[in-house]
């Protein structure tokens, strides 16, 4: 099977550019429910037009409906899915279980692709989503080549892999940083990228979490995935053209073209890396600068009378943009070339290898010898990627119709799709009925700006009458105006009877069972224990198996080892489990065991509840980034038990990037904390081998606000941070009185939206 090159389209111009330069498929978003909410995106008419054009070229279009959906947004979601069906898109890329439920039950003709927001990072997760009905999974960017190819070997499941573009510090889909900081959720397409900010730590101010860009270049030929994906729905058509062109040539058997790579860097690029593609890589963060850097073309040799002097390694022209790293500035200093001299003469173009003097703008910062100069914008490159596109409305998605026409002496009639139209007249015998037949067919084939395409035409003219072309055209127009296409719409599913308990009970969760020693456990209906693969069974034996639920981590890069631990525990009678990612559901059959969802398997709408129920979940937990208003809309209608977490040291993100300064060879492998500050806020980064988690210094706590809600369970969590039995006892007493633990954060709970 040919490897698919998949390009981004933030607007219709980027879509045309991608298709012109060789993309086999494009992915794009509608005006809502797109994980790139600030991209231009597409309306229904544009989607129909670009889909029709792509299908004319034998290419594909995938639509991203890949954000979490709140309950009151379900009607709008249904409208979007209606548009996708009507536009005949090739697949829908999704994150929300509610979207999956609607597609499976009401839009079976739509193919489902699992978004990278679903955090598919191992074989088990991919296998479960295949069982759930997904035809393709978009893999987490953190995976190595071996992990990618192992998942790609799953029979009957397509895989999609990012090969170029921006990287997130966190695994996609499990980052709550922007939601907690700004009420702008990454899971809702509104991320404000707080990870790229400056943080103070270890007596230095750095961009500790600001990632470089991914660029796999020629290594893409080693990948066995179905589809190779370029990131960039917020990028320009020029950028999309250049990156698509670069990788198209590689896939077509040519060596990576250095000139084409340089063009990309001039259009937009942070420093490039290959992330963890070839194994663990610590050189993936750009701590000193953020944003577009450009193509490195030399270093400052001198500054004389307001002129920058250096010898470029690349041609530069007047009005090109240059940038220079200035070490006391967060972003490079950039300016447009207005005047330059070579050998004392003013020139419009300076060739590489020739020392050039460039006039600096007024107010330029302190520049020193040795500072790197980047070509950040090139007029020549801007003109190098012209592309052709069809005329407006030249391509449209048409509905195939069949028409039957009848001719009588006093009228003509046409019928189609249950609709009929007549034109009265007086029609004489025809001299040549073949010409009459031709006139009818030719007229009805003219569907013009209508959404119809004539598939079959039948004419009955038993009395062999002649009909003027103008009258036939009136008949055609009347019929086509009357036909109403079958625009079957979806609907919100009917819920079964709610199972909510009017007297909520309490759950406590911990990663250290010893911290429960001072508690009266009779006050709690359930204990949840976050385990690892080295679990102490003797410690477990101190607790009633019917009261203890074992919780599995969100991220698991070695599920084959964890599988043995899980099976041993099941064999020893532990049948109650909490899961936080889809990988666990492939190892624990929710139809056989008592399985609940943690807040990290997002359920923000009733359709998601129904999908969770079909999977076999007994209970769902409300997302920590959800709002009081949305939870109110759900809590009394849930067909499942519900849990509301009122206290937790919430992970703002979980990352496969190590924050430690040492190299891997000298890592102790011990747990390590690092305190950071940003804008007066204090954060704690937890480093464990090959993983970093970021927390606010203050816990998430909504205890004082939670009493107005009546879930099945209230839940308090004591994981990751170093608690003592005494502290757990003190905090739990306050929480059970609905008192906040101060200082605390409440994320979006009291806000109107995320």
On whether residue 288 sits in a domain, the answer given is: no
Residues 548 and 610 in one domain: yes
Residue 569 located in a structural domain: yes
Shared domain for 19 and 119, answered yes or no, is yes
Question: Do both 205 and 87 map to the same domain?
Answer: no
Window from 441-455, 585-599, 688-702 with minimum mean pLDDT: 441-455
Are 202 and 259 contained in the same domain? no
Q: Report if residue 256 sits inside a domain.
A: yes
pLDDT mean over 390-410: 91
Write the CATH number for 305.
Answer: 2.40.30.10
Q: DSSP readout, 223-261?
A: ---SEEEE--TTS-HHHHHHHHHHHHHHHTTPPP-HHHH
> Quick check: 77 and 33 in contact, CB under 8 A?
yes
Q: What Cα–Cα distance (Å) separates residue 614 from each residue in 105, 177, 494, 618? A: 12, 31, 14, 10
Distances (CA, A) of 413 to 134, 346, 435: 47, 78, 18
Residues 569 and 531 in one domain: yes
Last residue of a domain, one of 324, 353, 382: 382
Q: Are residues 46 and 36 in the same domain?
A: yes
Task: Confirm whether 33 is domain-assigned.
Answer: yes
Q: What is the pTM of this model?
A: 0.92
Task: Flag whether pLDDT at 19 surpasses 90.
Answer: yes
pLDDT, tens digit (0-9, with 9 covering 90-100), for 45-82: 899 999 999 999 999 999 999 999 999 999 999 999 99
pLDDT of residue 692: 96
Q: Are residues 449 and 465 in the same domain?
A: yes
Range of the domain at 261: 4-167+211-273
C-alpha neighbours within 13 Å on the C-beta side of residue 400: 3
Residues 469 and 512 in one domain: no
Q: Is the model's pLDDT at 501 over the cut of 70?
A: no
Please tell me the distance from the alpha carbon of residue 571 to that of residue 591, in angstroms, as a whole number: 17
> Per-residue confidence at 703, pLDDT binned at 50, 70, 90?
very high
Residue 748 within any structural domain of the chain: no
Q: Which of 20-24, 95-99, 486-490, 613-617 has the lowest mean pLDDT?
A: 486-490
Is residue 282 domain-resident?
Answer: no
Residue 406: burial class (beta carbons within 10 Å; 0-12, 13-18, 19+): middle
169-227 residue pLDDT tens: 999 999 999 999 999 999 999 999 999 999 999 889 999 999 999 999 999 999 999 99
Q: Is residue 393 part of a domain?
A: no
For residues 203 and 310, membership in a common domain is answered with no
pLDDT score recorded for residue 296: 96
Contacts of 116 (CB under 8 A, 6+ apart): 138, 139, 140, 141, 162, 172, 173
Bridge partners, 162 (sequence order): 229
> Has residue 261 got a pLDDT over 90?
yes
Q: How confident is the model at residue 383 (pLDDT cuts 50, 70, 90)?
A: very high
Q: At residue 669, does pLDDT exceed 80?
A: no
Per residue in 356-378, pLDDT tens?
999 999 999 999 999 999 999 99
Is 587 in the same domain as 728? yes
- In this prediction, residue 131 carries a pLDDT of 98
Task: Provide the 10 A C-beta neighbour count for residue 377.
Answer: 20
- pLDDT value of position 329: 79
Beta-ladder partners of 596 = 578, 619
In order of 192, 294, 352, 388, 486, the CA distances from 37 in angstroms are: 11, 26, 41, 27, 30
What are 313-353's pLDDT values in tens digits?
Answer: 999 999 999 999 887 778 889 999 999 999 999 999 999 99
Exposed, middle or buried by CB within 10 Å (0-12, 13-18, 19+), for 499? Answer: middle
Answer yes or no: is pLDDT of 500 > 70.
no
**What is the average pLDDT value for the chain, to the nearest integer?**
94
Q: Could you give the percent of the chain with pLDDT greater than 70? A: 99
Q: Do the beta carbons of residue 100 and residue 68 sit within 8 Å?
A: no
Looking at residue 221, which CATH number applies to its domain?
Answer: 3.20.20.70
What is the predicted pLDDT for the residue at 127? 98
Q: What is the pLDDT of residue 417?
A: 87
| Alpha-carbon distances, residue 556 vs 284, 531, 634, 655 (angstroms) | 21, 12, 31, 12
623 and 716 together in one domain: yes
In terms of domains, do 625 and 703 share one?
yes
Q: Is position 534 within any domain?
A: yes
Assigned token pair, 351: 């060739």
| Mean pLDDT on 128-134 | 98
Q: Structurally, how many domains does the chain consist of?
A: 5
Angle between helix 237-251 and 12-20 (nearest 10): 20
């Amino acid at each position: 099977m040919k490897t698919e090159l998949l390009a981004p389209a933030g607007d219709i111009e980027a879509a045309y550019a991608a298709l012109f330069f060789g993309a086999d498929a494009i992915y794009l978003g509608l005006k809502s429910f797109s994980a790139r909410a600030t991209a231009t995106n597409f309306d229904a008419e544009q989607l129909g037009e670009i889909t029709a054009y792509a299908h004319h070229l034998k290419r594909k279009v995938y639509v991203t409906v890949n954000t979490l959906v709140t309950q009151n947004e379900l009607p709008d979601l249904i409208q979007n899915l209606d548009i996708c069906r009507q536009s005949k898109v090739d697949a829908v890329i999704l994150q929300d279980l509610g979207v999956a439920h609607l597609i499976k039950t009401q839009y079976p003709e739509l193919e489902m692709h699992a978004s990278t927001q679903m955090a598919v990072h191992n074989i088990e997760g991919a296998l479960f989503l295949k069982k759930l009905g997904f035809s393709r999974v978009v893999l987490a960017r953190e995976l190595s080549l071996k992990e990618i190819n192992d998942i790609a070997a799953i029979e009957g499941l397509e895989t999609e892999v990012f090969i170029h573009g921006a990287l997130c510090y966190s695994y996609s889909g499990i980052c709550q940083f922007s939601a907690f900081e700004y009420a702008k959720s990454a899971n809702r397409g509104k991320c404000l990228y707080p990870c790229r900010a400056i943080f103070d730590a270890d007596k230095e101010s750095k961009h500790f979490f600001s990632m470089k860009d991914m660029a796999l270049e020629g290594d893409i030929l080693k990948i066995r995935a179905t589809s190779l994906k370029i990131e960039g729905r917020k990028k320009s058509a020029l950028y999309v053209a250049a990156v698509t062109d670069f990788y198209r040539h590689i896939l077509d058997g040519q060596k990576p073209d250095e000139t084409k790579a340089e063009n990309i860097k001039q259009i937009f690029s942070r420093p490039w890396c290959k992330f963890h593609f070839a194994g663990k890589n610590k050189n993936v963060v750009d701590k000193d600068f953020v944003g577009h850097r450009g193509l490195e073309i030399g270093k400052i040799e001198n500054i004389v009378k307001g002129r920058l002097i250096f010898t470029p390694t690349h041609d530069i022209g007047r009005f090109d943009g240059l940038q220079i790293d200035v070490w006391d500035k967060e972003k490079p200093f950039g300016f447009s070339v207005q005047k330059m001299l070579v050998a004392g003469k003013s020139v419009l173009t300076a060739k590489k290898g020739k020392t050039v003097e460039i006039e600096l703008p007024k107010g330029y910062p302190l520049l020193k010898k040795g500072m790197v100069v980047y070509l950040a914008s090139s007029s020549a490159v801007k003109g190098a990627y012209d592309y052709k596109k069809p005329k407006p409305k030249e391509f449209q998605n048409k509905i195939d119709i069949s028409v039957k026409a009848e001719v009588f002496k006093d009228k003509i009639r046409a019928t189609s799709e249950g609709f009929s139209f007549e034109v009265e007249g007086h029609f004489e015998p025809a001299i040549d009925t073949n010409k009459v037949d031709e006139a009818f067919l030719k007229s009805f084939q003219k569907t013009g700006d209508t959404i119809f395409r004539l598939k079959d035409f039948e004419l009955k003219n038993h009395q062999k009458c002649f009909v003027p072309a103008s009258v036939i055209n009136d008949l055609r127009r009347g019929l086509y105006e009357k036909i109403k296409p079958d625009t079957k719409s979806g609907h919100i599913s009917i819920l079964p009877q709610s199972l909510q308990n009017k007297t909520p009970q309490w759950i406590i969760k911990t990663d250290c069972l010893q911290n429960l020693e001072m508690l009266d456990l009779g006050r709690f209906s359930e204990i949840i224990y976050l385990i690892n693969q080295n679990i102490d069974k003797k410690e477990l034996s101190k607790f009633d198996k019917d009261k203890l639920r074992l919780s599995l981590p969100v991220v698991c890069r070695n599920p084959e080892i964890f599988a043995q631990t899980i099976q041993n525990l099941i064999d020893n009678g532990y049948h109650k489990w909490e899961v936080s990612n889809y990988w666990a559901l492939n190892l624990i059959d929710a139809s056989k065991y008592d399985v609940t969802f943690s807040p990290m398997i997002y359920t923000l709408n009733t359709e998601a509840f129904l999908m969770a129920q079909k999977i076999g979940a007994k209970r769902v937990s409300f997302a920590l980034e959800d709002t009081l208003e949305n939870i109110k809309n759900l809590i009394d209608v849930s067909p499942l038990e519900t849990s509301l977490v009122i206290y937790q040291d919430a992970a703002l993100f979980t990352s496969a990037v190590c924050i430690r300064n040492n190299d891997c060879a000298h890592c102790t492998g011990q747990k390590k904390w690092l305190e950071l500050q940003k804008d007066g806020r204090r954060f704690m980064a937890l480093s464990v081998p090959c993983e970093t988690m970021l927390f606010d210094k203050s816990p998430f706590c909504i205890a004082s606000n939670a009493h107005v809600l009546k879930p099945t369970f209230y839940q308090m969590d004591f994981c990751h941070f170093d608690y003592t039995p005494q502290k757990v006892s003190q905090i739990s007493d306050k929480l059970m009185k609905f008192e906040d633990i101060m200082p605390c954060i409440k994320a979006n709970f009291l806000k109107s939206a995320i």
